[in-house]
Structure 1
């Protein structure tokens, strides 16, 4: 394959990158060099200067205000005026009477210190308090167990104490209890009274200091309660919820349908949230004005999810993303269809630029590329960001070939930081620094901004060019520019780093199903796919090493794989992949 033009630089792309082959590299788990990020005044300044005022004073108010338990009986129930459709079903998590499996870990309530065991990961405990089991795919067969579990939770979690009374898990639990009731199950008087107490507590603990998906979840729970119950108290919950949603929905759902935190996983969760809100509106024949706006946004959200999904139907991994947290895309499609939203048209060959969010999809025959030319997220809310600017994922003939790290854990540990780092993604790292200064578990200081994106898709060849400024903070004032060229049977990636540097490396992380056959030199290798086909890799300069790697498709899961780690020998590096497309 000959590439006739190279628009990203004065030089021309070589006629298919043929050179020497690489020998196997000594296999050691790669711990990329990092610039130490010890929290100091400069790091805090670049983190905090983007925040909204409410995130400062709201945190103070949240800590100072603590509502008093309101143990009054629940308001009366509102009768349905329409039909509640079967909501999205999650994978089962209740594995026995009081035994649960979350995040790849199985625990029994009788074998641990109850609902707030300090020896367990907090995210696992959060999942325990969500009560997703009430709306799992096997929930119809577990009614008796669920009834016992509801009573058990009430008895073990006094008002205001423990993880279950934190606003986010409480919001999800309130919605799950109400969904379970709307699906035809019965909440007894004690359970209804507990539900009302939880809603009252939540109404005084809204996460205005966190904003984003947390505040959205709070408002959604208040709206569910405001519709499920009736009377002046329920009306007040509904008014508060609608006021928040009227502000948050237009901000959080971008013009191309993306959820503004720019995580494919959280986007799928946001789409489910929007479908739930519409389901609620139809069931009670209410909320006409805002429901019309919600309805208008859902098709774009469906299309965005389809464009950022691989041919295997699963999401691409950009920012915090993994399987098993949001419901499967097929189940979301089933749920959407039941509410009058058919599946969007299947993506076709060409370039799709999701301009509001910054992502692109390149598709040509059996080859699908998902490109990240996006900001890391909202400036004031980058908590789920990875330093993955100008990374991409690639599927060939339905098989994922190149994959970003994924996410196996939250928290403050070194592994969490590694998974967020640039070297865990299919992009370029300079002098051991991350393209955006990710630190702690959910913090970002200086961050990369993509610019100068150019698209040229004349037909048989698709060209994308983009740069980012995340490395301007380094002594070399570096700019990373990347050019993708996709043609029949060939993908070429040209990386250019402007400004002086000590070390620049490109990373290409392989799906665990892909094997590597090294050659005799250091500039060529072959990727072997499960179907027996092969993809040949060659670089024009530099050196390739094959390193052990890990892919994290689910929380609590780490799968062994390999990574092509390519060291620059100059300012430019061209990596060419070729395969038989006949």
Structure 2
């Protein structure tokens, strides 16, 4: 029986996505069934390899997904902060890797670590992959022939071919290019239209690479398909304020890197000119939301090292398009819902936007009216981050509203999160005012994420942050029937809590110090996880501000006491 939660989830998904998913599911089942009966289907097709282009594309922003080292024939893959060791032949489908979303296994099949390998080990590992991984085996679309993994692997292999072409054995080089051509044709027939978002941008990037790597019909088809998709996805995915519509700063930087690569590969056209304008807006957004330590905000899914470094992204932009934009003292990204204030002492990023796009809320978290705060280069109030994408307690906590620096009622979530990536009911956010006046950022907004509860409570938060180092947070619940109202603050592990009197606290990390006045609440301290990167868990502390019961109005203040000076990123 179809659950109400499932229906509340599906009703937000565009029909075109549902149709693509249904079509792909049918095709995959059919091909897997046929391949089990007729194994010859899994053999490489006897098709001529297209000629290679005279001017092969060069590597660009490579190696964001892990490392590999080789010692005495043992390959150690350090992926998602969880090293594993294999010998040839590699067990590419080890049972331990076939759990949940298979993210570690996907990273293994990315080959984005290939630049760490010497020529002989590169050839041995690629040959082993080609021999052991054929399409149309059961669940082939989950990992080895997953279109997202393939898009990354194709670029990695083409980049390594260009980098090593004068040193590769001719027989291996021929086998490598034949596999690249086979995978390129497969990708053209299996684009991720059912998912969209950053996945489809990865597909587009890979197709532009194929268009430049080969000559002839395959090259033309890859380039034409990439251009058609990109023209549509720029409007669909990049918001008017320049932010990527999945609303994750980490994924925003990843998409920016991928689109920069597309720009340098694509032919001159009106679309390329349009993309140049878009890239400028995206770069400004990236510059404005980066913390002074040079790493991204952890809002929604992402990690500090999930994508290429900020420095590498900045250098790549300047190589391709010119000067990277300066950070702004305040940024109002109203379409994305992010509001930023930056001084030499304070960096504040505040989320007053929707959870994510209706058709792709996979990376959304319950962080409406949450914020991150840095003093000088020292992070003080942090977002929980994400440990893994596998469904389970850690995944559920990373998405839960109790994990964020905002208010909960009876510890309920703002949205109906379920499974690893699903979202049913979601809040509507209304911004009444968002201004910067006299060097003070002020945002006044409300959401109805708790309206399902008794008394239909509405949460309104008014936050102001001034260059004088004073941050005021006022929470108001209208409606409600006695639900427990609690606000939370997750502290960076370096922060020391010095309890004073009457719910006053000094929060100190090295030379950075912040004073909390929470006199309208009863404050307790509890241990909580911080996940700055996939697979990385650090125990820290969370301040729990118990306001009392709804309806009501409460207030707390943070005041800068000291901040070490350092130039912003």
The question of whether the paired residues in 2 share the 8 Å contact of 1:447 and 1:470 is answered with yes
Structure 1, unmatched stretches of 5+, are 1-38
* Cα distance in structure 1, aligned partners of 2:120 and 2:66: 15
* Residue 517 of structure 1 pairs with residue 493 of structure 2: no
* Cα distance in structure 2, aligned partners of 1:71 and 1:159: 15
* Residue 196 of structure 1 pairs with residue 181 of structure 2: yes
Give the counterpart of 2:222 among 222, 230, 237. Answer: 237
Give the counterpart of 1:104 among 70, 81, 86. Answer: 81
User: Is the alpha carbon distance of 1:116 and 1:287 closer, same or farther for their aligned partners in structure 2, counting shifts above 3 Å?
Assistant: farther
Give the counterpart of 2:119 among 126, 134, 143. Answer: 143
Residues 498-530 of structure 1: CA deviation (Å, up to 9, x unaligned): 112321100100011101112354x22221122
The question of whether the paired residues in 2 share the 8 Å contact of 1:73 and 1:196 is answered with no
* Cα distance in structure 1, aligned partners of 2:66 and 2:372: 29
Give the counterpart of 1:56 among 4, 10, 18. Answer: 18
Give the counterpart of 2:302 among 317, 321, 335. Answer: 321
Match of 1:94 in 2: 68
**3-state SS in 2 of match to 1:452:** strand
Q: CA RMSD in A?
A: 2.2
* Cα distance in structure 2, aligned partners of 1:443 and 1:145: 40
Match of 2:96 in 1: 119
Offset, 1:287: 4.4
Match of 2:38 in 1: none
Match of 1:174 in 2: 154
User: Is the alpha carbon distance of 1:144 and 1:472 closer, same or farther for their aligned partners in structure 2, counting shifts above 3 Å?
Assistant: same
Match of 2:540 in 1: 561
* Cα distance in structure 2, aligned partners of 1:112 and 1:549: 41
- Correspondences of 1:398-477 after superposition (within 5 Å): 398-477=377-456
Offset, 1:85: 6.6
Match of 1:268 in 2: 253
Match of 2:566 in 1: none
Residues 215-266 of structure 1: CA deviation (Å, up to 9, x unaligned): 2222322232122111123322322222212111221111221111111111
Match of 1:342 in 2: 323
* Cα distance in structure 2, aligned partners of 1:177 and 1:361: 39
**3-state SS in 2 of match to 1:116:** coil
TM-score normalised to the size of structure 1?
Answer: 0.87
Residues 536-573 of structure 1: CA deviation (Å, up to 9, x unaligned): 21123120001111110010001111000011125112
User: Is the alpha carbon distance of 1:432 and 1:49 closer, same or farther for their aligned partners in structure 2, counting shifts above 3 Å?
Assistant: same
Give the counterpart of 1:372 among 351, 354, 376. Answer: 351
The question of whether the paired residues in 1 share the 8 Å contact of 2:384 and 2:531 is answered with yes
The question of whether the paired residues in 1 share the 8 Å contact of 2:62 and 2:112 is answered with no
User: Is the alpha carbon distance of 1:498 and 1:104 closer, same or farther for their aligned partners in structure 2, counting shifts above 3 Å?
Assistant: same
Structure 2, unmatched stretches of 5+, are 32-40, 564-569
Residues 178-211 of structure 1: CA deviation (Å, up to 9, x unaligned): 2223445467001000111111222222222112
* Cα distance in structure 2, aligned partners of 1:287 and 1:156: 40
Residues 363-384 of structure 1: CA deviation (Å, up to 9, x unaligned): 2441111010111111111111
**3-state SS in 2 of match to 1:561:** strand
Structure scoring higher RCO (CA < 8 A, sep ≥ 6) equals 1
* Cα distance in structure 2, aligned partners of 1:481 and 1:440: 29
* Residue 303 of structure 1 pairs with residue 284 of structure 2: yes
**3-state SS in 2 of match to 1:384:** coil
User: Is the alpha carbon distance of 1:289 and 1:489 closer, same or farther for their aligned partners in structure 2, counting shifts above 3 Å?
Assistant: closer
Match of 1:526 in 2: 506
Residues 441-472 of structure 1: CA deviation (Å, up to 9, x unaligned): 00111112221331343214332211112111
User: Is the alpha carbon distance of 1:85 and 1:148 closer, same or farther for their aligned partners in structure 2, counting shifts above 3 Å?
Assistant: closer
**3-state SS in 1 of match to 2:120:** helix
Give the counterpart of 1:491 among 468, 471, 480. Answer: 471
Give the counterpart of 2:208 among 201, 218, 223. Answer: 223
The question of whether the paired residues in 1 share the 8 Å contact of 2:119 and 2:164 is answered with no
* Cα distance in structure 2, aligned partners of 1:451 and 1:564: 27
* Residue 74 of structure 1 pairs with residue 49 of structure 2: yes
- Correspondences of 1:239-254 after superposition (within 5 Å): 239-254=224-239
How many residue pairs end up in the alignment? 531
**3-state SS in 1 of match to 2:113:** helix
* Cα distance in structure 2, aligned partners of 1:149 and 1:176: 13
TM-score normalised to the size of structure 2?
Answer: 0.89
Residues 268-315 of structure 1: CA deviation (Å, up to 9, x unaligned): 11011111112223xxxx243322222221111111111111111110
* Cα distance in structure 1, aligned partners of 2:349 and 2:279: 21
* Cα distance in structure 1, aligned partners of 2:538 and 2:348: 22
The question of whether the paired residues in 2 share the 8 Å contact of 1:484 and 1:493 is answered with yes
